[in-house]
Amino acid sequence: MSSDAGEFRWVRPPVQARSQASLSRILDAAEGVIAERGFAGATVADIVKRAKSSVGVFYDRFRDKEALLDCLHERFCMESRATADNALDPERWQDATAEQILTKLVGFLVQIYRDHVGLLRAFMVRCGSDKSFAERGMNIHAYIAEKLAALLLEHAMQIHHPNPSLAIEFGLRAIGSTLDNFVMFDEADAGSITLQSPELPEELTRLFLAYLGIMPTETRQKHSSAVLAKN
């Protein structure tokens, strides 16, 4: 595996203009307040105080909190695209197996959900009532799925699903939907695994690998040992 394959990071493109930097401070502050109090509990006063700005400056840029959320979603999608370009760069994975790729990427995806749970919950609620908001999110999912498929199809011989392209896209959708469910209902979920459970990345990876028909290395080694012992 490439030596830097595991060094993932959330990518935030550089900001240069002073006005854009001011906007970024408001958006950063809004993310922090929403993470702590949820979108409904995040007040404009709290956001501008954290951003070291003013209510007047806020309303010069946004008509209301819903417009702020729209801007946050645009930025999140832009950063998601940049992050996918970085994480799914084929040069990272020149010597990796499909299993190694998915293990790292699913773990990274879980961490993104954990880091942005409050913001993602606000996005999901808004998607239910805003078609353009939902379409923006679906476009990002399609972009990430396309990048992942291009990467994994280099290892098509390791995938035993009869339609690898479909399986990669649908498998990613299944993992994303599971994480979405955790974000929306984790606090009320009495199940044995939650979004914060240490087992979650491993179990989601196992799910994805099984759907693609990729036998994990540990299982393959146990099977080979059992066959050797039997013979």
Give the chain's domains with CATH numbers. 89-230 (1.10.357)
- 112-124 per-position pLDDT tens digit: 999 999 999 999 9
Q: What is the mean pLDDT of the chain?
A: 88
Among residues 130, 16, 33, 25, the alpha carbon closest in space to that of 73 is found at: 130
Q: Give the model's confidence band at 126: pLDDT under 50 very low, under 70 low, under 90 confident, else very high.
A: very high
* Confidence check: pLDDT of 207 > 80: yes
On the question of pLDDT at 9 being above 90, the answer is no
Residue of 211, 6, 173 whose CA lies nearest to 95 = 6
| pLDDT for 196 | 92
Of 110 and 188, the one with more pLDDT: 110
Taking 80 as the threshold, does the pLDDT of residue 186 lie above it? Answer: no
Share of the chain above pLDDT 90, in %: 77
Amino acid residing at 186: D
Task: Assign 224 a pLDDT band (cuts: 50, 70, 90).
Answer: very low
Highest mean pLDDT among 2-11, 17-26, 63-72, 217-226: 63-72
Cβ(179)–Cβ(196) under 8 Å? no
CA distance 30 to 74: 14
What pLDDT does residue 49 have? Answer: 96
Tell me the average pLDDT across 53-67. Answer: 93
pTM: 0.86
- Terminal alpha carbon distance of the chain: 33
